Chain A
Amino acid sequence: MTRSGRFLLWSGIVALCAWVLVPIYLIGVGAFGGRAAAFRWPKGILPVNTSLDQILVFLRIEGVANAAMNSLIAAGLTMLFSLLLGAPAGYALARFSFRGADAFRLMVLLTRAFPLAILALPLTVIFIKTGLYDTPLGVSLVHTALALPFATLVTAGLFQGIPREFEEAAWVFGCTRFQAIRKVVLPLALPGLAASAVFAFVISWNEVFAASVLTVRERTLTAYLLTVLSESPIHYRFAGGFILIVPSIVFIFAVRRYLFALWGVTSR
């Protein structure tokens, strides 16, 4: 490549990195700047009088801490459910050829052609009857429906990547199928399982629609922010947006090695 070509290439790359990073930086500045910063005119690119207090003020607003807690619970449960349901199914897809395997795979893939969160609408009635309405558990059930297809396909890929012979060797040396899974398969699959758990967490943490439909008082953070959006002062919105973003970025960083395993399945 020529010098000018290389220069052009790297300019493009740097510009695109800035396109991603600068807005995050700026909402961070907004979140820590409080009211004064939000209304200062004109703004400079550098932060002025930022302090942690501004975020703490936001967190002390009635309902925010509770909503954050609900989000954590719902996301944690989603993580748990999608793994508990998805990993065995993924294992079955990876290790057995059985009648109906293709039908099951199809059903899992089919969920992607549907805007799943919208299916929360009819669930409201049943949830009210069963007491699941307005609970993080209820929200997590719908979020599990979102995350489960991914968890199933990702873990199937994961188990496929662990040679069958490892398990067979364990059987020959005296393990039952269950013991072989515990002693050999799980330790080898652990990082990947953790990655898909984190992924399920992020799906739930970020979901807005179903969470808003299925809660009134026990809002998740996204649902809370959505409902108070129009009445809350603008710097609170920045603080809320920033708090939403931070865990996601940390998680995506944690699973960066598995990004392709996680999202690559969408291309199959």
Chain B
Amino acid sequence: MNQRILPYLLVAPAVVFLGAFFIVPLVQTIVLSFDGGGTGNALGNYSRMVNDLNFGVSLRNTFMLVLVVVPLQLAMALAMGMMLQKIERGREMVLWIWTIPLGVSDLAAGLVWLALLQNTGYINSALFHLGLLDGPTPWLNSETPVTLFAAIVLAEVWRATAVVLIVIVAGLQTIPKEFGEAAEIFGAKPWRKFTRITLPLLKPSIQSALILRTVLAFEVFAAVYALGGRNFPVLVGEAYTWQNENQNYGVAAAYAVLIMVISLAATLVWLKALRTNPETQA
């Protein structure tokens, strides 16, 4: 077969597929969101979205979640990665355990934490045994927004820190040991070594971990539903409701476009904020 066309034949199926199931729906979503929704105004769907009672709440909730969850996950993953650096025996085992949640869906993670946090759940039982609680207490309804938020944060951190951890550990493995050793010879304290040597060298990994996580965090939905039902509206949840329950595809598309714009903006922010000069990288 011709050597020149062979690579094109090989990538063609994937290109066609991504065209059909990524590019086309992407364009369609955008077009659909501007179809006016029968109002005659191209921004009709958007104004319906913005004027919806849940819009402001879901926007605020989603951002709050991302702003709390993502930094927390990064900090935890960095700490876990540094711990793994320090151990020899059992490293494989520990790494496996820590990455188990990789395979857990957000829905399942929500259900797991529901088992712990429901009225008669394990956390309440533990608090009862400690004498801190008199009986079953609800944490996850609309009257307890703070604890509901905390529960969702717990579920998200529990589930998705593993992804960040893998990226960080992969990055740590590419840093030659000599850098740290050299710093030690010059008398650098561990914390200083971490902030001056490890973190800067880890910047590309941190960047891609943040991009990956932020995009996924804006998609948060199933864990929220499992724990709080409709009590904690989020953007993707609203898109789902408009599509499946209200059967209004236009407004759902407007939500989708909004989420994509936010995701892209976040990606750009991370790309810019954590820009690395290729020459200063090991």
Contact = CB atoms under 8 A, between A and B. Distances in A.
Q: Do chains A and B touch in the complex (CB under 8 A)?
A: yes
Interface of A: 1, 9-10, 12-13, 16-17, 19-21, 23-24, 26-27, 30, 38-45, 81, 84-86, 88-89, 91-93, 95-96, 98, 100-101, 104, 107-108, 111-125, 141-142, 144-145, 148-149, 152, 177, 202, 205-209, 212-213, 222, 225-226, 229-230, 234, 237-238, 240-241, 244-245, 247-249, 251-253, 256, 259-260, 263-264, 266-268
B81 to A, nearest CB: 12
15 contacts: A10-B87, A92-B11, A118-B239, A119-B29, A121-B252, A148-B14, A152-B14, A208-B106, A241-B112, A241-B115, A244-B111, A260-B166, A263-B170, A266-B163, A266-B167
B22 A119 contact: yes
Interface string B25-41: 11011001000000000
Interface string B209-235: 101100110110110011001000000
Interface stretch (B53-61, B65-73, B90-98, B272-280): B90-98
A260 B1 CA distance: 35
Interface of B: 1, 4, 6-8, 10-11, 13-15, 17-18, 21-22, 25-26, 28-29, 32, 79-80, 83, 86-87, 92, 94-108, 110-116, 118, 120-122, 124-125, 128-129, 135-136, 158, 163, 166-167, 169-171, 173, 204-205, 208-209, 211-212, 215-216, 218-219, 221-222, 225-226, 229, 236, 239-240, 243-244, 249, 252-253, 256, 259-260, 263-264, 267
Given A267-B167, A267-B171, A91 B10 contact: yes
A108 B245 CA distance: 33
B17 A85 contact: yes
A86 B264 CA distance: 25
A256 B166 contact: no
Nearest to B25: A119
Contacts of A95: 7
A120 B25 contact: yes
A213 B25 CA distance: 14
Contacts of B209: 266-267
Contacts of B219: 115, 117-118, 209
A119 B256 contact: yes
Contact of B29 (A85, A121, A247): A121
Contacts of A117: 219
A124 B108 contact: no
A226 B222 contact: yes
A112 B97 contact: no
Given A86-B14, A142-B21, A267-B208, A43 B120 contact: yes
A222 B105 contact: yes
Q: Is the interface of B mostly helix, strand, loop or mixed?
A: helix
B215 A114 contact: yes
Most buried by A among B99, B118, B222, B240: B222
A19 B158 contact: yes
A177 B10 CA distance: 13
Contact of A122 (B87, B111, B121, B253): B253
Contacts of B236: 115, 118, 209
A238 B114 CA distance: 8
A1 B86 contact: yes
Given A111-B18, A213-B243, 20 more contacts: A13-B94, A16-B80, A17-B94, A43-B120, A44-B125, A88-B10, A92-B8, A92-B11, A113-B264, A113-B267, A119-B26, A121-B256, A124-B249, A208-B106, A237-B226, A244-B111, A249-B100, A252-B96, A263-B167, A266-B163
